[in-house]
Structure 1
């Protein structure tokens, strides 16, 4: 690689090393060290504790449910958007809006939902003025509140990721199916469905990873009980009642890294298969 090109990518390598490579090494090494920095596998035994197992299961359940709902709804919206004029105002507006909403998360998103659906939220007060009572407590439950909040960015993300695959469907394929006597159902079952399936599954895996690794939004809404694995990890570093558990937190983080790595490996393999159709 020429010296000028190497110099140009040096900031990227430095950024990747500081914010990805080094933290990953810290997690992997720390997961196998005790409080005195001696090698141990005792931290991995902590992963079998009921609280950690429950947090892992609930994180997986939340991620799977939001990924499936987001994939189905986002996929339908992506197909609806694909039927609009490519350079039309509607398509550009929807894709731009989804691009913003897909990146809108963290504390800001939690505050937006609290200001809308919380105990003193404007929608809660508006409904109460019309005789519809709502305590807003559902917003703080991991299986209801976080489900609704996560879908806020999961559905737009699905539209952005899945839209190129839908755009890859050629009108000639539908015309050929109709010429051979096929119905709309036949076209979707034998032509469009098999073509879109790898992209759909890959996008769903991406949504799972996106929800599984989310932390700030859940931390802002749920401050008690740490029902999710990212919150459990944060608790080992910040809680005053579990001092000395930092390396167990690193073991839990390593567990998350393994899960995400497996899912992303599957996503990369599926995306490679799907790209063959998008390039034709």
Structure 2
């Protein structure tokens, strides 16, 4: 009996180790994917940003080039584009998410909206650009219909669809459903008892939203807006498909630096610009993480 009692803990410990090893083995594909497609490219960008032309020697010239007027202007337009699309997406998506949160949890409306949001949040690139061109492009059916039936020319003051205002409109299209996805859990975290407690103490609906729900939702709303900002700031395919000439935002500037056959020796400058984007996104996502921790404390 003593021998059996002495060996039992070892068997349990060995089984626990096997389960732990199996759990770690299951994470290998994930870490391999992250290493190949995130860590290694980030290291390549970081090293290239400090490497001279032709891969010779350490240099700060590439980072110094970030102070050039055209690069600063591209960063500025990217920030404006990301901020405006995040603002519009957060407000409109937040309102839609609130409307969905008031519906039945198992109702058809909620299921349809959340399913569509999951699809449309990933609807970008060439497909989205073509959809807007076919709808409100120079020969889009809405543009042609307005001209033929009302005499209104939406491009009378310029081809804005292919400039910053057009990019804001197109980006907002996928920002709204993304906001629904990330903000809806916070709205679901509001407990009915809080409203009932406010009303029992003589509080009005306005006081409930300004003193209870508003402060609780503010970190989640701001965190979601930051996530939308990072999403727009790093987007490339939609802008590349829509803007055929020029490089108004920093992802397109990076493309030009890496692929240009006119100005040579700019590949590492492009990596320096990419490193700048990585830094901006890292700062934004750090703030998002901090706000999410604050949100989960109250609404978790």
TM-score class, shorter: over 0.9
Q: Which residue of 1 aligns with 2:28?
A: 10
In the alignment, which of 92, 113, 124 is matched to residue 132 of structure 2? 113
1:61-92 alpha-carbon deviations (Å, 9 max, x no partner): 11111111111111111111111111000111
- 1:29 maps to 47
Give a deviation string over 1:117-147, Cα, whole Å, max 9, x none: 11111111221220323348221012x1101
SS of residue in 1 equivalent to 2:235? coil
Larger Rg: 2
Look up the match of 1:91.
110
2:236 paired residue number:
215
| CA deviation after TM superposition for structure 1 residue 206, in Å | 0.1
Post-superposition CA distance 1:19-46 (Å, at most 9, x none): 1011000000000000132100010110
Moved over 3 A (4+): none
TM-score for the superposition, normalised by structure 2: 0.90
Matched, 1:269 2:279: no
| 2:69 counterpart of 1:50 | yes
Tell me the distance in 1 between the aligned counterparts of 2:111 and 2:23: 35
Can you list the C-alpha shifts for 1:159-180, whole angstroms capped at 9, x where unaligned? Answer: 1100010011111111111111
The answer as to 2:88 corresponding to 1:65 is: no
Q: Which residue of 2 aligns with 1:180?
A: 201
Residue 125 (structure 1) aligns with: 144
Q: Which of 154, 161, 166 matches 2:182?
A: 161
| Aligned length in residues | 278
Name the CA distance, whole Å, in 2 between partners of 1:240 and 1:124.
36
- SS, match of residue 51 in structure 2: coil
Q: CA deviation at 1:216?
A: 0.5
Unpaired segments ≥5 residues, structure 1? none
CA-CA distance at 1:222 after TM superposition: 1.0
